[in-house]
Structure 1
Amino acid sequence: MNTVQKSLRDSAVARWSALLIVSITMFCGYFFTDVMSPLKPLLEKDLGWTSGDYGWFTSAYGWFNVFFGMLFIGGIILDKFGARIAGLLASGLMVVGASIKYWAVASEFPEGAMLLGHSKQVAFAALGFAIFGTGVEIMGITVSKILVRWFKGYEMALAMGLQVAVARIGTMLAMAAPLRIVDHFGTISSPLAFCLVLLIIGFLSYFIYIVMDKKLEASIEVEKDEASDEGFSFKDLGAIFANRGFWYIALLCVLFYSSVFPFLKYATDFFINKFAMTPEDAGDLPGLLPLGTLFLTPIFGGIYDKLGKGATMMIIGSVLLVFIHGLFAMEGLTSVPVAITLVVLLGVALSLVPSAMWPSVAKIIPEKQLGTAFSMIFWVQNWGLMGVPLLIGYVLEKYCISSEPGADVVTYNYNLPMTIFMCFGILAVVFAVLLKNADRKKGYGLELPNDKH
């Protein structure tokens, strides 16, 4: 009779309910993030965008996070005021940014009207995407800290893996659904309207989590946890900057994601150009990637919880990237079955690394600094999410056009962009190995299990 429930998080039902609620918000965010990816050929054909316009628009996702330090501000708000305020602010920004982006794509602007060197439509769509990107990235660090708060000492890697898996369903639908929605409603903006409705639902669902978090705060002994969490301090920045393991995992993060998510932005166009697929099939194929992660990420997270080997998993996933993009870059490789196989393997890589990487941050960084640390990692990551799509769009337009000048449809040779993605993978392997060596010397515990119960 001496067993006492310490806090609400000791209830499995409460933990997993909290996970489900915040996962809904991230699912909606991931859906909107990639909903324009399958529409690139239509944007060029019907709205007159170029690959340069598309790359610039896609890079807008990271503008405010990188240049105005919004992720740092979000991390400070998270550590100072908690996940309730930070999450509500972030999900609200997602809705505002998505609304502006939808309005821009749905509206007609005077021909030749320019802003920031691009058409007004592209510029306003980019502005909306930049505001949305600020919200979804702050939401990402908020959810990461929420899961540490509820699952530390329990199934933390499994929980993070499941959250990523649910979010990846959004990515999968973003690959497969937009062209079908356009066919049904007849307008390029209709997938954005559909996503905007989902984002509003995600925003409203977060209020349910707020109620749960208040109950957690009021539960037994949580006051002690809060007392040990001193909130943001500029001293924390110095401690994080001095942590070599932090830099290895931050650089691994930006390099790994730079070879995956920017690839997804161009994947539909890539498969149309290199493998001669129909637009619908080319949109469905990258949808296999998040479908695979739906099952594999929780499995790999569970393995990390029970058996450890987190650093080893990150090395294996990074090596897979090099192999996959190396084959995609090969001249003459146009076999659709091979393309399908490589996308499936890319899903394995995208499951291995995040399922080990995000729980490992909580082993390298003290809990009271986690919000700041996550915001800094996401800030580094946003340099890649901003710069790489811009780079790929420039490379495509400058060096990779394979159609004749004046052709009705512009076609591209994607071998050079795939080589660039492969190089990011090689660098990711380097930093994954350095991280494992640092773990051996510093004893972070990356190769040890997470679940202590």
Structure 2
Amino acid sequence: MSIQSPNEDKMETKRLLNGTHEDNLCGCGSSAVCHPARAPHRYIMLLFMCFLSFGSYFCYDNPAALQSTIQQVMKVDTEQFELLYSLYSWPNVVLSAFGGFLIDRVFGIRWGTIIFTAIILIGQIIFAMGAQVNSFLIMQIGRFVFGLGGENLAVAQNTYAVSWFKGRELNMAFGLQLSFSRMGSTVNMLSIEKTYNAVHFDKDYQRLAFTFFTGVMYCVFSMVCAFVLLYFDKRRSRWLNLEAAETGEVVHLRDIKDFPLSLWLIFIICVTYYVAIFPFISLGTVFFEDKFNLPSDSAHFVNSLVYLISLGASFLFGILVDKTGLNLLWVFIAILGTLVAHGMLAFTWISPYVSMILLGTMYSLLACALWPMVALVVPEHQLGTAYGLMQAIQNLGLAIISMVAGLIVDNKGYLVLEVFFCANLCVALFCIVVLYIVDSAGGGQLNQSAEERNAFISAAEELKTRTSIGEREDLIRITPLTASQLRGRYLTCVGVPPTPDHDGMGRLLPLSCPHPLK
């Protein structure tokens, strides 16, 4: 009987735990492109993840690209026009959190994604049909149905990304997803008015209907991507035995009350930041025409710069955050830069191109640094619920602020609206400072450098291969400790019981020195 060396035994243990069957693979299955554990295959799947939301983002800003046209053809004011965005957001105040719960407990990530893309498709069809019969009410119903799937699809997309890329590449994956999503928004902003002007029907509302039906094709394309991911994600689970490696823990909605303070601060930052972005873009075209006297084509282009810049910047910033870490620092810079951009738009006559380029850059940076932080503060089996709740709170803010924004424009004008946006960003800036303090007190995981985070991840992966309690405690002992953890262990050694410390993941650290009473 041959005796394995420690290294060989370690490799065999990892192979068995991972459940890979590389010894039995041949042909395409043994290649990097086909094997689900290899980077090339994961990047191909990331491409399909990115296109999951292309149709949703293209259709979401259909109204913003045709604001003046919709108001004229459908005979509505700005407040009524903004209902097309509020009605998208209102159902997601509840359903985003519930959708995340369904992903975790009922449908699963695969079928949940298909169901949500189907709802988006149906909503866009109803929206276009409302224009076809010249009924603004039916258009509103279509936006409501569209919203039932839109944010839930974003939750599913985020959960897919974490499942495939949790660890060193997650920020890059989020950044690339945002880039492709905003490609849909950019294509919409730059093309949909041209589509409207290129078609000719007896009635203008029929031209609107034809224009909105172009979005249906993109929704079908996103649904095809959902089916592709269903097949390959199921194949990945079978090959890598991931289903057997699941935690087995059950998620309850009551777990929400146990979410850490740092997660709630992330939620507040999310909503107070994004209400200064999306409602502004929905009204931006007319703003640029009125204040800066830009022609319609130029106003549309300037308004699309946020999305256009995010096409490339999000991916690059994702790599930047992956390489440097320091998520909290990047979020702080992004909020501060966005506040400067809105201040320039409100109080100066500097070219709007400058302000919108800055706004687009900061928007891309924040998304790459903020959203991945959720995966650092909650267990993986609760990620669907956490991201769903984050989307729900974001949509509550967007639903309210969209209506408030339309009311402000109708009664007070765009200057007051910009001041209102700046006030929201100040709240976000305050919360990021508080989050830094809270995170530092708990070990500073959210603002770790890339080297520190990689060391922590490597230690966690190594821990999974250990089977005895003694080995697990030995590994934890060599994990770098914070100042507060070192102080606690010192107090324990001299006989003073410290306040229980944690390792940043919600787990109590074992004592390195026995208590004298023990």
TM over 0.5: yes
Cα distance 1:433–1:191, how it changes in 2: closer, same or farther (>3 A)?
farther
Matches within 5 A, 1:15-414: 15-66=42-93, 69-80=94-105, 81-108=107-134, 121-186=135-200, 187-226=207-246, 228-240=247-259, 243-330=260-347, 333-335=348-350, 338-400=351-413, 414=414
1:14 aligns with 2:41: yes
* Contact 2:65/2:189 (<8 A) preserved: yes
Cα distance 1:313–1:363, how it changes in 2: closer, same or farther (>3 A)?
same
- In the alignment, what sits opposite 2:510? none
| Alpha-carbon distance, 1:220 to partner | 2.5
Q: Secondary structure at the match of 1:350?
A: helix
Q: Would you say how many aligned residue pairs link Structure 1 and Structure 2?
A: 419
Distance in 2, Cα, partners of 1:429 & 1:224: 43
Distance in 2, Cα, partners of 1:232 & 1:188: 45
* Contact 1:53/1:122 (<8 A) preserved: no
- In the alignment, what sits opposite 1:410? none
Listed one character per residue, the Cα deviations across residues 398-422 of structure 1 (whole Å, up to 9, x for unaligned) are 233xxxxxxxxxxxxx111111111
Long gaps (5+) in structure 1 = 109-120, 401-413
Listed one character per residue, the Cα deviations across residues 116-161 of structure 1 (whole Å, up to 9, x for unaligned) are xxxxx23221221121112010010111111110001231100110
| Alpha-carbon distance, 1:62 to partner | 1.1
Distance in 2, Cα, partners of 1:46 & 1:122: 10
* Contact 1:173/1:287 (<8 A) preserved: no
| Alpha-carbon distance, 1:217 to partner | 1.4
Listed one character per residue, the Cα deviations across residues 254-292 of structure 1 (whole Å, up to 9, x for unaligned) are 011100111110111111111111111111112221121
| Alpha-carbon distance, 1:293 to partner | 1.3
Distance in 2, Cα, partners of 1:37 & 1:288: 14
Q: State percent identity of aligned pairs.
A: 25
Q: Which structure's relative contact order is higher, taking Cα pairs within 8 Å and 6+ residues apart?
A: 1
Q: Secondary structure at the match of 1:189?
A: helix
Distance in 2, Cα, partners of 1:218 & 1:148: 18
Please report the TM-score for the alignment, with normalisation by the length of structure 2. Answer: 0.78
Residue type of the partner of 1:422?
A: C
Cα distance 1:248–1:23, how it changes in 2: closer, same or farther (>3 A)?
same
Q: Secondary structure at the match of 1:219?
A: helix
Distance in 1, Cα, partners of 2:394 & 2:405: 17
Distance in 2, Cα, partners of 1:38 & 1:232: 41
- In the alignment, what sits opposite 2:502? none
Distance in 2, Cα, partners of 1:357 & 1:443: 18
Distance in 1, Cα, partners of 2:444 & 2:155: 21
| Alpha-carbon distance, 1:232 to partner | 2.5
* Contact 1:38/1:269 (<8 A) preserved: no
Distance in 2, Cα, partners of 1:360 & 1:90: 24
* Contact 1:176/1:287 (<8 A) preserved: yes
* Contact 2:92/2:148 (<8 A) preserved: yes
Distance in 2, Cα, partners of 1:278 & 1:244: 47
Distance in 2, Cα, partners of 1:291 & 1:171: 8
* Contact 1:182/1:191 (<8 A) preserved: yes
Q: How well do the aligned residues superpose, as a CA RMSD in angstroms? A: 1.7
- In the alignment, what sits opposite 2:503? none
Which of structure 1's runs of 4+ aligned residues deviate more than 3 A?
1-9, 450-453
| Alpha-carbon distance, 1:28 to partner | 1.3
| Alpha-carbon distance, 1:235 to partner | 4.1
| Alpha-carbon distance, 1:230 to partner | 2.6
Listed one character per residue, the Cα deviations across residues 184-226 of structure 1 (whole Å, up to 9, x for unaligned) are 1141233311111110111122111100111111022413432
| Alpha-carbon distance, 1:45 to partner | 2.1
| Alpha-carbon distance, 1:229 to partner | 4.6
Listed one character per residue, the Cα deviations across residues 332-388 of structure 1 (whole Å, up to 9, x for unaligned) are x445xx200110000111111110111111001111111111111100000122111
Listed one character per residue, the Cα deviations across residues 4-63 of structure 1 (whole Å, up to 9, x for unaligned) are 663665311221122111211211111111121021111222221211210222211112
* Contact 1:9/1:151 (<8 A) preserved: no
- In the alignment, what sits opposite 1:405? none
Distance in 2, Cα, partners of 1:38 & 1:229: 46
Listed one character per residue, the Cα deviations across residues 82-121 of structure 1 (whole Å, up to 9, x for unaligned) are 111210111011011111111112223xxxxxxxxxxxx2
Distance in 2, Cα, partners of 1:418 & 1:71: 28
Please report the TM-score for the alignment, with normalisation by the length of structure 1. Answer: 0.89
| Alpha-carbon distance, 1:328 to partner | 1.2
